[in-house]
Structure 1
């Protein structure tokens, strides 16, 4: 649905050149909720503005729904942009217009019949749970309600893609949760591909199925959310993941570890149904090893349970190897941790 090939974006101001994006390659499939995360200045907002050509790349290709945007005529590009909705951090509602009129703006600009506009706007206000606010004004709404109106307005022209640029950053945690659940409904009920720009890993955890991590204008890591959360490779990714999943042995525990010739420490990761099985209990019952649970954490990502544990094994080498093989057969990913 969205593809970027070898994208570069350079700004030149007062003889100063800034490279905002460097060799960006990513692909967002139809039906994805794709997250792009990075700290301020990473280039993520520039990247999302390339999707609807609010910004044009200095080099590379942007392909949307199978069409290269740089090869499209102005009229075709305008038609394509109608298939891409966008919501913003600060809502961008017109304070002098009612909620009904704010949602209707894209339809009015497209010169749709009044009856069609009324039907579509009321349908969307019902969908976002604000049908009773049609005659209200933005100043009468809470931040969460304003963002819901922004989502309804973005959906008015029946887009195939919804871009969300820090859409929850101005909201409190409870309201953020409700907006993310609404975006999930948009994705599932309207079959709209969603691209979310954020600096909050909790947003990625809650709704996204795939993620790209950005730093200094580059994508440093990307993949399924489960893979990236379970096996972060880059230090920046690890830093983001640790804001929502504590996946390291506490230093206080490390200091008390007994090091012996027969002692080995492993990082164990289990996903899905296997996470609910008492495999550590089975291990201790059936194998001649002592098992010390140093650390354990369970979290849910995309309705899949992810368990990360650090286990210390005490026993003869062959017995430990048999225990490890048992865990692997049960679906655990094992990685030995050395001091």
Structure 2
């Protein structure tokens, strides 16, 4: 559906060249809700603007639906762009036009007939829950409602791809949740492939099935959301994951914990999260166990549990207990501070 091959993007200003993207290789399959996450300046927005050729790569190839965009003439590129909708962080609505007219803009530009426009816009406003706002102006709407208008406008041309550039970062948490649910509905009912740029790992957790992590113009980690959340490899990825899955001893407890006892961080994924692992450690391995921290998170319908424990007992019993954890596919590492 979308493929970026060895993409480089550079900007030259005042005789200074800045390389925004450095050797990007990425593939988004049909039906994916694919998230791209990174801190400010990572190159996320530049990357997503390549997909509809708002930005042209300095080097490399952008392939959409099996066709390289570099091979298209202007007319062919315009036709391809009709299949790629885009949602913006700050809505980009025309304040002087009513909601109906804002949604109709792509159809008017395509010179569709009045009846076709009316039918499509009415259908979309109903889909996004704004049927009663057709004659309102953007200034009369909340931030969440404005974004729903932006989504309806992006869907007007029946795109096969929907790009979302920080589409929820200007919204409060409750409104963000409703917009994410709407995007999931669009993906499921219209079979539209969605690519989301964000700096919020909670957005990735809620809606995406795959994720790429960016840093300084490069992709440093990519995989399914469950893989990346369950086994983050890069320090930056680990930092993002920790914003959603907290797995540290609270600061208020650290000064009161005796780390002379062996302390371990455990991670349970899937079925192991519901098994009586702790019971086994206490009763079958004859250990005293102190739970310093524990939580449970659901990622793509799979439970991920994190726990920090101290084991106190005979050294041989502790080693047998660690072997038991390994056999149960429980990830563990010793914590020293």
Q: What TM-score results when the alignment is normalised by the length of structure 2?
A: 0.93
* Map 1:102-113 → 2, pairs under 5 A: 102-113=102-113
265, 278, 295: which one pairs with 2:263? 265
* Map 1:315-326 → 2, pairs under 5 A: 315-326=313-324
Residue 122 of structure 2 corresponds to 122
Residue 175 of structure 2 corresponds to 175
Worse-matched range after superposition: 322-331 or 30-39: 322-331
Residue 311 of structure 2 corresponds to 313
Aligned residue for 1:105, secondary structure, equals helix
Change (3 A) 1:259 1:338: closer
Q: 1:134-182, CA deviations, whole angstroms, 9 ceiling, x for partnerless residues?
A: 1222121111101001001101111111101111111111111111111
**Structure 1 unmatched ranges of 5 or more:** none
Aligned residue for 2:169, secondary structure, equals coil
Worse-matched range after superposition: 200-209 or 163-172: 200-209
Residue 206 of structure 1 corresponds to 206
* Map 1:157-236 → 2, pairs under 5 A: 157-236=157-236
Report how far residue 107 of structure 1 moved: 1.6
Residue 288 of structure 2 corresponds to 290
Worse-matched range after superposition: 35-44 or 85-94: 35-44
* Map 1:42-81 → 2, pairs under 5 A: 42-81=42-81
Question: What is the aligned residue count?
Answer: 337
Report how far residue 49 of structure 1 moved: 0.3
Worse-matched range after superposition: 127-136 or 71-80: 71-80
Q: 1:277-334, CA deviations, whole angstroms, 9 ceiling, x for partnerless residues?
A: 3321233222222222222121222232211112222233442233233333434222
Report how far residue 88 of structure 1 moved: 0.4
Q: 1:59-84, CA deviations, whole angstroms, 9 ceiling, x for partnerless residues?
A: 11111121111122222221111111
Residue 7 of structure 1 corresponds to 7
Q: 1:169-223, CA deviations, whole angstroms, 9 ceiling, x for partnerless residues?
A: 1111111111111111111111111111111222112111222222221222222
Report how far residue 251 of structure 1 moved: 4.7
Residue 136 of structure 1 corresponds to 136
Aligned residue for 2:204, secondary structure, equals helix
CA contact (8 A) 2:259 2:336 kept: no
Distance in 1 (CA, whole Å) between partners of 2:94 and 2:252 is 54
Residue 303 of structure 1 corresponds to 301
Distance in 2 (CA, whole Å) between partners of 1:102 and 1:27 is 32
Distance in 1 (CA, whole Å) between partners of 2:126 and 2:71 is 39
Residue 37 of structure 1 corresponds to 37
CA contact (8 A) 2:230 2:269 kept: no
Distance in 1 (CA, whole Å) between partners of 2:281 and 2:73 is 65
Aligned residue for 1:213, secondary structure, equals strand
Distance in 1 (CA, whole Å) between partners of 2:316 and 2:118 is 74
Report how far residue 235 of structure 1 moved: 2.7
